[in-house]
A and B are shown apart, each in its own frame.
Chain A
Amino acid sequence: MSTVVPTMRHVRGFDIVRPLSVGMLVFMMLPLVFLPLASIFIFGTSNGLDKFWAALTQPDAVFALKLSMATSFWATVFNVIFGLFAAYVLSRHNFWGRNALIVTISLPTAIPTAVAGFALLLLWGPYGTLGRFLTPHGVQLMFTAGAIILANIFVTFPLAFGVIKPVFDTMSRSLEEASATIGATRWQTFWHVTLPSLRGAIVSGALLTFARAVGEFGSTILVSGNLAGRTQTAPLYIFAKFNEGQIEAANAIAIVLALFSFLIFSVLFFARDWLDVD
């Protein structure tokens, strides 16, 4: 996306405000954003790339990264499908309590993640509302990869929905009506007409959900049990290694996560227009 910003001339000759304001913006972002990010890379690679590589390929580190990817992936799959379904229902049907439902779906982003994790424990944990009936039967959901997925689903619940719903709302009804009069079934209309128009929204909703899930910490640390090599995700690994004083180990994973989210947001930024090309 390249947008040409039209500029208005305020003064004769050289306008000092322009370089000054741009410079100020960069200067303010320096300690807040740029320097913290830069220091990860500076520290992580200061002992040489071979040390960095060794820290990265430790079995627990590799496992943590893989676990993060896998749990985030499944949470994303679920939330995109759910978000699509919820957006369809809530924009196509009007019913009593519709607005209440929209608010409820959007709620999980407003809840502190530690509270979300705690809530899941209180429901599914060994002494939880439902968990206490399941535990005697050998069903233990908490402190497993499944618990991490549940926590991820909870905290990223409204993200895909929030991206997809506005597209549904603004979509012209006549497209679907045209498809119906041409002879398509509801399913054919959804598959051939509705879904292609949602392509961009689905991809950006998925990336947003995935990026958020990979970085999830607060709820994961409560429900996962934080067992290295078993239920320890990448952010938990960073925290654990930092506490043990293994800064290089923590740093290697931090670099990977930072690069990864940078990549996702670049894709998000540039791919949206490309996917939405008519």
Chain B
Amino acid sequence: MSATSDNVPPIAASVIGISKRFGKTGVLENISLDVAEGEILVLLGASGSGKTTILRIIAGLEQPNTGSVILHGRDVTNLPARERGVGVIFQDYALFPKMTVEKNIGYGLRIRRRRRKEIRKTVDELLSLVQLEEHRKKYPSQLSGGQQQRVAIARTLAYKPEVLLFDEPFGALDTQTRTHLRREIRALLRRVNVPSVFITHDQEEALELGDRVAVINKGHIEQIGTPYEIYNHPATEYVATFLGAANILEGVVREGFVETECAQLPAQLDIQKFRTGDRIKVVFRPEDISLSRTDFLKPGHLKLGPAHIEEVSFVGAYERVRLRLERPGEDCENGEQPSYYLTTETPENRPHSIIATRPKPEASSTQVRIGDRVVVAITSFTVLPGS
């Protein structure tokens, strides 16, 4: 949520104007972001988007071409990794294979030449924090993936890192373990209250884990905001697409509303960004759609118009309906392409239809079949500048 009150948590780590090139290929361009004290920031992006490079630059494993890294007010841009005091949880955990669990956890303190008593006490505390007391004498290869990950976290917590950096920490695990571990780690991070940066390409993971999510695309930040903001109010078409399927209607800005081919939707637009007559895109999620047999609209529902059902499929938790909107004045078959599409497909073979998903109770109360004519309404939408 946007923090407007006076007790804004102080910034723990920030990256200012980072750019990075590998040879001639630019990987990052002018990246700036902050992590507040105790916050979990997720960097979400496809592989090759540059998100791992951001993490490695914060850790000091990679040197940026321009820009700086600030940790708790200290400029660490030119410090080597070992002097930064960050904790990195690698994708493969990078536990030392020849050390037992307790030796792994105590490593940071041993190389800092702390007294043996102190090391033992810290290791004991961390072992109970990550609930691995009975595994202390085991070697990493004798532990499950989830246990190894907890050892990796405990190993970094031992030296009280300024910030924790997670590099796709759930990448190597199966779906069930991932979901379970994700919740466990979120709870753990809440308890230790260390600011954290997560990297993932999994949108569900990003939404569940992050206090804020930064969507990275081709080396720049597309949008940064709370999971609610980026999911419901995507700032760009890329963000809308990356966080799941999105329906898009092309349209034009009018006085107090936006006009699309089939409907007029009331919208209060930012006059800084949109002028009357501008081409825009109306974006809404499949679950924002409600179907009904009659023209009667529930309060808060905005009518898009009548449509024909093209396909109904059952996808486990919900029903998915593919619809073709009726175009006013003419029948669908002739002439130019309709001005709406679904963003999950590539631009060439985007079907000119929209997708609605309906939870089971709704699906069974208003049953639809292929060929049926229904009235489509939406509960919320976002307006993006059109191309």
Contacts and interface: CB of A to CB of B under 8 A. Distances in A.
Given A182-B159, A185-B82, 15 more contacts: A175-B94, A175-B97, A177-B81, A177-B88, A179-B96, A179-B107, A181-B59, A182-B155, A184-B82, A192-B107, A192-B111, A196-B96, A278-B97, A278-B98, A278-B139
A196 B159 CA distance: 23
A178 B98 contact: no
B61 interface: yes
Interface string B70-107: 00000000001111111110111010111100000001
B92 A181 contact: no
A181 B81 contact: yes
B353 interface: no
Interface of B: 59-61, 80-88, 90-92, 94, 96-99, 107-108, 111-112, 139-141, 155-156, 159
Given A182-B159, A185-B82, A197 B108 contact: no
Contacts of B99: 196
Nearest first, the 6 closest Cβ-Cβ pairs linking A and B are A178-B94, A196-B98, A174-B94, A278-B141, A180-B81, A174-B90
30 contacts: A172-B92, A174-B91, A175-B94, A175-B96, A177-B61, A177-B90, A178-B88, A178-B90, A178-B96, A179-B96, A179-B107, A180-B61, A180-B81, A180-B82, A181-B61, A181-B88, A182-B107, A182-B111, A182-B156, A182-B159, A183-B108, A183-B112, A184-B107, A192-B96, A192-B111, A197-B97, A197-B98, A278-B139, A278-B140, A278-B141
B176 to A, nearest CB: 25
Contact of A177 (B87, B94, B156): B94
A278 B148 CA distance: 14
Nearest to B90: A174
A62 interface: no
Contacts of A66: none
Contact of B111 (A178, A184, A199): A184
A174 B94 CA distance: 6
A185 B82 CA distance: 7
A177 B81 CA distance: 8
Nearest to B89: A178
A271 to B, nearest CB: 16
A174 B167 CA distance: 11
A61 to B, nearest CB: 42
B111 A181 contact: no
Most buried by B among A172, A174, A178: A178
